[in-house]
Structure 1
Amino acid sequence: MNKPTVFLGMPDNMGIYRSIQANLEHHGFNVIHLVSDPRTFRYPSLSARLGVKFRKLVLRDKYAKQKLQAAVFHQNILSTLDAAGQADYALFIRGDLYAPELLAEIRRRIRRTMVNYQWDGMNRYPDIWQTVSKFDRFYVFDPADLQPNGNFLPLTNFYFDYPAAQTDETHADFYFVGSHLPQRSGVIAEFGHQARAHGWTLDFNIVCAAKEEKACRALYPDNIKLSTLTSDYAENLQHAARAKVLVDFKTPIHNGLSFRAFEALGYRKKLITTNTETAKYDFYHPDNIFIWDGETFDGIDDFLKRPYHETAPEIREKYSFGNWIRYVLDIPPYQPIALPEA
């Protein structure tokens, strides 16, 4: 029996598309990725390079290179589509990265279903509104984005069920990785100070722009590491697997749950989070998830002492990548994934 083919289109966030591709292949799909990786960009010609320099220096177009990258990316996708012919499915994450006319061209080559998952909230990247009609199924992860009379479908993030987790070795008490955001820097710094006072070991990694590195360093205690480079998502999973407790600091941009909540579920780790919405999900248990107010540490010591409460197998399975992809592409059997009320 031939494997179904899926086009995969998404941003190159921490190389997570490589983990998604590996899991799609593990679950029986042939994958053709339509992902733009800026690190592999090459100027198509010397004249193209000189043209970008001219636009930057003379026309003051600071986005000249990005515009060329987009044009080259568009052409590369068309070449990939011509070579591939048709596919059974197309899975997009953040369809706003793709021009509506390109999405229409891809849709003509799909035998079954083309879907999008907007994992950043609908209003963070408003260009997504131009593309909604191009998809057969459109998923959102923030309950506030579900339209009562609309066609959006509920979805969450997931944990990877391949490869199987190896969690015997512990390297740190607490693990977190995320971008520097001014709105949450104070809360993260406070956790660092409290960790030092309690004698806890941290594996905290904040990514900030190179031009902001000195200013960022002044905001965080020295038990929190800074980097100007993002790590690979597979490396992030290794760190998560080797920590006792995962920590999640909510971004102010949306109320959807980050991957950290699902990594904790998949690895059977405890989670400390500032996202109060977490308590509304069916996998929440107070022995496993501590909702932190960002100020007082009252109750955390008691939380850490309590044993992990095993989640019901059917609930844990619901958020695995295997169930997630069957639900997203509507390939029974699967458990539907719901969102709590906003």
Structure 2
Amino acid sequence: MKITIISYDNWGLNNHLKIALEKNGHTVRHINFFDFKYKYPNFRSKLYNLILKIISRKNIKNIYYGNEILKILRENNETQDVILTIKGEFIDPKSILEFKKYTKKSIAFFNDSISRCPRTKNVITCFDEVYSFEKEDCLKYNLKFITNWIYTTPSTNKQKQYQVFNISSKDRRFTITEKIASSLKEKNINYKIIVFDKKNKTQISNVEFTSKQIPLVEVNDYLNNSEVLLDINRKHQKGLTFRVFESIGLEKKLITTNTDIINYDFYNPNNILVIDEQKPDIPLTFFNTDYEKIPEVVSNKYTLDQWIKQVFY
């Protein structure tokens, strides 16, 4: 098949999808609109965009992304069998509808909840088929449920530099991140928590800040050099993040604030510690037991190959 992936791939995770599809013999193009940098010409334009978003729910950036993507599709001038759009909520609906001129089938995957990103409602009807990792959204809006995927494999590195590792962007989760870091520090648990912050002002904190996007290869090094991975879910979101599937692929324990994880078939309290985000309690005993391998019949459901079979075939 001829496939085009359109995604806002700020961490480089969707490139694994491209590589896996190519290994299966497909011709794949990846349009990563994270690389499209829109700059407001002046302050007036920025103010106009703010007013536009409030009054008409339109966004100049989203229109810009859509126009740039359409330019590439026109230049390619070749009908695709499938166009898969990930993070389509960042593209204006008119452009998404135009994608259909260049493909036999237009599919979307959303790995954010609609309650957190209400603008998703404006675009879900623009696709032929829509998948989401949020169970409640699937029930409410008649979408197809699918999780993120496993792209990692068990680490051969037996010596670990850190007991706990997490990397995330600075957002509303930061207060929770700091609470967890303080709890880890109090218990002398060795950890590395990196927070990506564009402004990167000097801050006194128990976490490490960076203003530079860390390549996925480097992130994977940290993952491999850690005993336990830390996952902090966003407010109004129950869908499982990639951190969960990194832990499964690497066969590592997980600490998470996502209470819905107990409803998945791979949940094992020996491997997964669910903590209260307001009062995080991380018992030292969690580190004293070995990881219990998940049966392959279960873990195989969440592999990238299985994801491809469900979405593309």
Using a 3 Å threshold, how does the CA distance of structure 1 residues 24 and 296 change in structure 2: closer, same or farther? same
Question: Which residue of structure 2 aligns with residue 140 of structure 1?
Answer: 132
* Dislocated runs of 4+, deviation >4 Å: 40-43, 57-64
Question: Which residue of structure 2 aligns with residue 130 of structure 1?
Answer: 122
Question: Which residue of structure 2 aligns with residue 23 of structure 1?
Answer: 20
CA distance in 2, matches of 1:208, 1:98: 24
Q: Indicate conservation of the 8 Å contact 1:6/1:87, yes or no.
A: yes
* Structure 1 residues 172-321: aligned runs within 5 Å: 172-182=162-172, 184-210=173-199, 213-214=201-202, 217-218=203-204, 220-221=205-206, 224-294=207-277, 295=279, 297=281, 300-321=283-304
Using a 3 Å threshold, how does the CA distance of structure 1 residues 165 and 70 change in structure 2: closer, same or farther? farther
Using a 3 Å threshold, how does the CA distance of structure 1 residues 72 and 119 change in structure 2: closer, same or farther? closer
Using a 3 Å threshold, how does the CA distance of structure 1 residues 151 and 213 change in structure 2: closer, same or farther? same
Question: Which residue of structure 1 aligns with residue 87 of structure 2?
Answer: 94
TM-score by length of 2: 0.85
CA distance in 2, matches of 1:32, 1:265: 28
Q: Indicate conservation of the 8 Å contact 1:27/1:322, yes or no.
A: no
**What is the Cα-based RMSD across aligned positions, in Å?**
2.8
Structure 1 gap ranges (5+)? 44-51, 332-342
2:43 corresponds to which of 56, 62, 76: 56
Alignment partner of 2:265: what SS? Answer: coil
Q: Indicate conservation of the 8 Å contact 1:213/1:228, yes or no.
A: no
Question: Which residue of structure 1 aligns with residue 33 of structure 2?
Answer: 36
CA distance in 1, matches of 2:224, 2:70: 35
Deviation, 1:23, is: 3.0
Using a 3 Å threshold, how does the CA distance of structure 1 residues 292 and 25 change in structure 2: closer, same or farther? same
CA distance in 2, matches of 1:282, 1:196: 32
Q: Deviations over 1:116-162 (max 9, x none)?
A: 111111233333222222222211212221235x431111111115x
CA distance in 2, matches of 1:145, 1:68: 25
Aligned length: 304
Structure 2 gap ranges (5+)? 53-58
Return the index of the structure with the highest Cα Rg. 1
Q: Comparing 244-253 with 193-202, which one deviates more in the overlay?
A: 193-202
